[in-house]
Each structure stands twice: as structure tokens, then as C-alpha cells.
Structure 1
């Protein structure tokens, strides 16, 4: 029976996937222009079957095509195989990498696609490219169709489309057309059904509705600024679905539960755990934000906390207002999560720090810092310090290594410490803005709270001149211009 049930599930998934893929136009050299001439707006994916990125995008692309297939104004999604039937077309449009996505107005390129790569994000982005920012709903039937969606929507009911509230709504919609889904109506029957003549409401996506918060929230403000705040505070609800596309919407302090979040294949299982997080989040509304995230989409974040694997139950991770990291060590449960949040807010938890082991000896000219000894070796050493943040795989870092070692040897007897730290294996303190490798900072011994980014040359003489000039106390072996001092015989 289990095998039969599994087979049914697999067959259902395959059938759903194939149905969605059927909504994507399959184009080649022989029908590309003629087919696109019949469409108002088409997103075209130029791909190669062997391309890994294309394979990952394909199911999301198919889902997006299904989402927009009944849209008005119409939107179509198409694909072109650049290795077979579409070679000439791909060459014509200078496709040099895969996947390449372009937006066409009939058979003319309008622009390159620079939007999200997941289904709902693709649908939102494309809907923003056609027609007005807000869908004008002209009947109760159109309202039912508008509300039959998997997305959160913002809807305005206005007896007078020229009213102050309507103008605020339409202006906001125009500014945010690529981010949110909007609709409005002045139809008498629609207004009657909605119960009020002038209002703006946020309507949560059906799969996100729950017993802990209202599915529809009314805007009570009076300005565009009020509306911006209202959407920001309410769009994701008590426990938002945090994806790669929406991650920037979630600000610290933030608690995130990572597990098999999948609203396409397993909405019931996804909400089973989300509802338990909601039960706790309800108690701390306004104090801290909560979210759920797919463990597969955010494996890099799990790695930052030392997790290589997530089992059946969620892993709960947090960042406070200072961006310090914390993790729920106990097995996930409502009670354990409640206790974790209370202790986090009371500042009773020890932050998690990713660190290599402290070196057993550190007597080489270039000192090795790790997260666990960073304060002792860098901040509290009582000396001017130059620190390099590097990555083991970085070619520029490897080139700098012998130069950095020679510099350290020349300054061994000075009141200066030369330090390096592997920024891929250790947490970097937030005051050091490391975005590439190698990144270097100068820390004067009396001002360690204000690291100075080093942007000078990368030769030994360049470093000597800089340190000689910036050193708190003049160097013993070099003058302030970096010239070697003469020694008395």
C-alpha cells in the first residue's frame, strides 16, 4: 500500500509538472517570430539542456507560466533550445550564456529580464511589465477571479477614483508594481460586496492564512507614508515565508525556522511547523520578527551556524539587533522555542561564533587570528595592528602571502602586529566590512573601535610607507616617510 501511495504521489507530481510545462511555448527558428507576433508580451528563456542553472530554473519557469496563463493583459512564457532547433535565433539575439532571459513585445526585444528566478517572483515581475499597476476590477465576477490567487494582494475599494485615498493607493501601486499585486474597484456591486466604499485592505495569500491572525487587514492611515509602513509591517504576517527573493524584507532582530518549506508540493506539511512557530510568535508580536525558510535554499546560512544537515524537525536560528547569532540547541518544540525567545530578549543567551580552533602556537611573524582569539590578538593587544581577511582559494591572497610575511619580518621588533584571518572559516566582527578578498584594515592601538580600510599598494614598500606614517609611535627602523633609519656603528 505504501508503494502504491508513493506511486500515486509521484505520478501526481509528474502530471502537475507536465501540465505546468505545457503552458510554456516551445519555440525554434521556424516558429519564433511568427508565434511572438501573435503575443503582446512574452518572456523568453534561451537555454541549453545540459546547463545546470537552466535545469534548476525550468520547474519554476513552468510554474510561473501556469500562474500567468489566464492574465489580462495576457503574458506568455516561452523557451528556446539554443543547441538544437533554436541555434539561429539564439545567435541573432547574441545569447552567450545560459539561461538568458529577454522580454519581447510581439517579436521585438523590449529589455533583458533582471527579475527573480522563482515562480511567484517571475509572475510578479512580468505582471508589472504589462498594463496598469493595479487591476481595475469591474464586476463581482472579476473580483472572484482576482481573489483566486496564490499571492498576497492589496485591494482598494473607492466610490470616487479621484478621492484622496484612491490617489494615494494608485501612486503607491505604481511605485511598487514589481513587488506587490494590486487591484481596485469602483463598481457598485463590488463595493456593496466589500461592505465599505472607501478602504484599502491587504489580503493574505490563502496558503498563509491561519487562526492566529486575520487574513484581511484594513489600512487605517491617511498618507502614502502610512501606507508604506502598513504594508511593510503586515505583508508577511506574524511568521513570513522568507525566500531568497524576499529575504531583504526581514530585518533583525529575527528568528527563522529552517525546514522542508515547500508550498507547491507540501503545503499541509509546511504549515504544520509554521503553525507551531505562529503560536509562539503571537506572544512576541512587535518585539521580534519571525520567519520560515527552506533549508535547501538557505543552506549557506545554516553553514554559518555550523549546521550541515537538517532533519525532519526545524532548526531555529536567530540574529539580534547587533547581528549576533544564536541557535536553539534543544529539539524544536513550542515550549523550547518559547523559552529560547524569552532568553534571547532577556539577553541571557551566549552568541554562536563560528571559529577555527585557536592555534597551539602563534610565534610566526604573521599572527593567525580566529574568531575565538580575535579580541585578545587584535583588539586588546595594546599595539597598532594591520589585519588581512583572506580566503584560502583566493588567487590575490596567495600572491600577497610572501609579501605579507616579508612585511611582518621587517616589523618584528616594532610596536606593530601583522595579522591574518581566514574570513571563510571564522565570523568576522560586524565593524569590519569584508566584501572581497583580500581585505585589509589598519587599527591604531588607541582607536580599535574605528578600523581604517587599507586601500594602498600591495608591495612591501607600500605597506612600510603607510605604517611608518600612521603608526602611533614612530617606528624604530623607519622614519615617518618610510625610509630606513641610519644605524650608528
Structure 2
């Protein structure tokens, strides 16, 4: 994943000082109900049964992540969280907490254990949202190295992570922020990082405005290019037993608009092949984070037997022949009409 941006050095250079201690959150008004059977089977996994409140949940979260109350036994991060944020911000170490809590999450990733005091400008931003939306969203922080454990996701290449293990992440690096809803859909925060935008991000999460989908088109098979949307993505892509050439586009993008007639011609020429040519308006449809379009158009080839290996089309030119050459080279099976170099077999 590309880094969204890097903050200015002076943004976090001065540690914020405070002598006050935030009062602990003690509002039992927000309640979560489980089925009647849950009185016995404890769906939260925290020793909580039936009707619970966000206060009870967050207290259990604190206990589950072993945050010590005794300052003598606490890390610098523990002390900062308790003294300044009460129980409104928790530290996460695994995805199990998210899956069993029943609440959506806003999670901020950085090197908090190493640079806790120097990252107060970021936790303060998160805290402002926690004050407003803490009844309904769990706000959490964790370290970059916990990506896989918390999100079942790890951005970047192996070289990226080898460099991290050797050098660590700078305290001036911008944190990564994700929303995770109760269906375990993951969405990354992008844009200018400030308290107001995180609040807006939280608002969108609560109102289910992050995970967009267009209606499934009735005529998605009439042309030579299939039209995908979020609600049929799993069926058309993830469960497909056919290779897929996938274009993620935006109607606002001139390059995307230029590509559409070319894509239609590619689909026409490959209509008898075991290939699906598909386009998805990525601005109007939520896709799993792995398929996120960081720019438009983003183009992937997805082999039917290796869905986790996204082969990205990165050529500078996008002519019909360029794209056919690319597809022929990466197709699981040889094409009927073209050899592996994209040349017609029967000229």
C-alpha cells in the first residue's frame, strides 16, 4: 500500500503537557442486546452476558489487553492512555477483540509503544472523536507490527517490513487509520488528517456511509464488459472460476473515460475466451481493502486459482493490443485466438 502522506516534523515535535486527569467514562445509557440464548453462551468473550453497555465492554477491553492500573507496573503508553483518555481509547493486539465485541471500531496504527509521548497530537485527535461517538464506536490504537493480528491485513512488500524491522517507523510518519464495521468490513481513512475529518469519518461509519454500493445493473451482461458493483463483487470476482481483467475507475477521471471504449473493444475481441473483462466504479462501490484503488484507473488481472495474487497492469500505454498482450501473458490457460505474446494464432 502506498503511504498516504507524511506529517511535518514540527506537527508532533513538541510534547503536549497536562496535569489534569480525564474523568473515567461512566455512562450506562448505550446498550447492546444479544439474543436470549446469549445469557448462557457469552457472545462477547469477556464474561459479559445478555444486555451490556459500552462502559462494561470497554472495561472488559482494558482487562483483556492487560492494561495495568499500577503506574509502577505500567508502560509509558499505559500511563498516557489512563491519565489523559480514561477508558475512551484502548490498545488492541488481536482481531479477536473486534470480532467478539459487537461494536464498530476506529483504529489508529503507529509506533505507539516506542513513541507514545511524541504521538500525543494523534491520540488527541482520536480522543475528540471518542468524546462525541464513544457510546457507539470503540476507538483504539495499536502498533504497525500488529496489522495482521488486528486486521488480518498487511500492507506493503516483504522488503517494506524488513526495512521496518531494521529501522523502525519515524515518529513523524503519518498514522494509518481504519474503520471496521460489525461485518468486519475494513475501510481506510484518506485525506487531510485533522480532528474534524476523523469526526466526519466516525460519522460516516455510524451511518453506514463508508461501504457504498450501486444497485446491480440489469444489463451487466449485454455488452462485452461486465459491470461489477459492491453487492455482486464476491459472486463475480472472489467466487469466479474464470480469469478476470478488472478495471477500477472513476467517472471524474479523464484517463478512466478514455479507457472505456478501449476496454469495450478488448472485451469484444476476447468474447470467446475464458476471460471476464470487468469494470467497477470504485468511487461508488466499497471493495475489500486489498482491491482499494489508490488512483484511477487501477487495473488488476486476477487468476482464477490465485485470488490473493493481484497482477497489476502498470504499463504506460493502454491500447487494445497492449491490454491483450498483458492478458495473454498472464492468463491461466493459453488463449484460443492469441499466443502468449498476444499475437493472433491464425494470421
More strand per residue: 1 or 2? 1
Matched, 1:380 2:249: no
Structure 2 distance, partners of 1:443, 1:234, is: 49
Matched, 1:357 2:215: yes
Correspondence list, 1:377-416, <5 A: 377-416=236-275
TM-score of the pair, normalised by structure 2: 0.51
Structure 2 distance, partners of 1:449, 1:218, is: 45
| Residue equivalent to 2:139 | 289
Contact 1:442–1:453 under 8 Å retained in 2: yes
Matched, 1:182 2:5: no
Structure 2 distance, partners of 1:399, 1:275, is: 44
Please state whether the residue corresponding to 1:289 is helix, strand or coil.
Answer: strand
By relative contact order (CA 8 Å, sep 6+), the higher-ranking structure is 2
| Residue equivalent to 1:172 | none
| CA distance 1:379–1:276, change in 2 (3 Å) | closer
Structure 2 distance, partners of 1:486, 1:233, is: 73
Structure 1 distance, partners of 2:82, 2:269, is: 56
| CA distance 1:484–1:368, change in 2 (3 Å) | same
| Residue equivalent to 1:319 | 181
| CA distance 1:465–1:221, change in 2 (3 Å) | same
Unpaired runs of 5+ residues, structure 2, are 1-6, 27-58, 60-68, 90-94, 107-127, 142-178, 188-207
Contact 1:370–1:426 under 8 Å retained in 2: yes
C-alpha deviation, 1:460, in angstroms? 1.3
Matched, 1:423 2:282: yes
Structure 2 distance, partners of 1:219, 1:448, is: 48
Structure 2 distance, partners of 1:379, 1:277, is: 35
1:131-163, Cα deviation, whole Å (9 max, x unpaired): xxxxxxxxxxxxxxxxxxxxxxxxxxxxxxxxx
Matched, 1:368 2:227: yes
C-alpha deviation, 1:461, in angstroms? 1.4
| CA distance 1:446–1:318, change in 2 (3 Å) | closer
Matched, 1:467 2:315: no
C-alpha deviation, 1:452, in angstroms? 2.1
TM-score of the pair, normalised by structure 1: 0.37
Match of 2:86 among 220, 223, 237: 237
Structure with greater Cα Rg:
1
Matched, 1:441 2:300: yes
Please state whether the residue corresponding to 1:404 is helix, strand or coil.
Answer: helix
Structure 2 distance, partners of 1:367, 1:181, is: 53
Contact 1:394–1:437 under 8 Å retained in 2: yes
Structure 1 distance, partners of 2:324, 2:210, is: 37
Aligned residues: 211
1:99-154, Cα deviation, whole Å (9 max, x unpaired): xxxxxxxxxxxxxx948xxxxxxxxx58xxxxxxxxxxxxxxxxxxxxxxxxxxxx
Contact 1:238–1:289 under 8 Å retained in 2: no
1:417-446, Cα deviation, whole Å (9 max, x unpaired): 000001111101121132111101110011
Root-mean-square deviation over aligned CA pairs: 4.1
Structure 2 distance, partners of 1:485, 1:394, is: 36
| CA distance 1:319–1:411, change in 2 (3 Å) | same
Unpaired runs of 5+ residues, structure 1, are 1-112, 116-124, 127-175, 184-201, 241-250, 258-270, 282-287, 292-316, 326-349
Structure 2 distance, partners of 1:355, 1:458, is: 27
1:211-261, Cα deviation, whole Å (9 max, x unpaired): 639xxx873348xxx324543676433225xxxxxxxxxx9947479xxxx
Structure 2 distance, partners of 1:234, 1:437, is: 44
Matched, 1:479 2:293: no
| Residue equivalent to 2:150 | none
Contact 1:255–1:290 under 8 Å retained in 2: no
C-alpha deviation, 1:464, in angstroms? 1.0
C-alpha deviation, 1:449, in angstroms? 2.7
| CA distance 1:356–1:232, change in 2 (3 Å) | same
Matched, 1:220 2:34: no
| Residue equivalent to 1:67 | none
1:360-385, Cα deviation, whole Å (9 max, x unpaired): 12221010000111112222221110
Correspondence list, 1:254-333, <5 A: 255=104, 274=131, 277=134, 288-289=138-139, 319=181, 322-324=184-186
Contact 2:228–2:279 under 8 Å retained in 1: yes
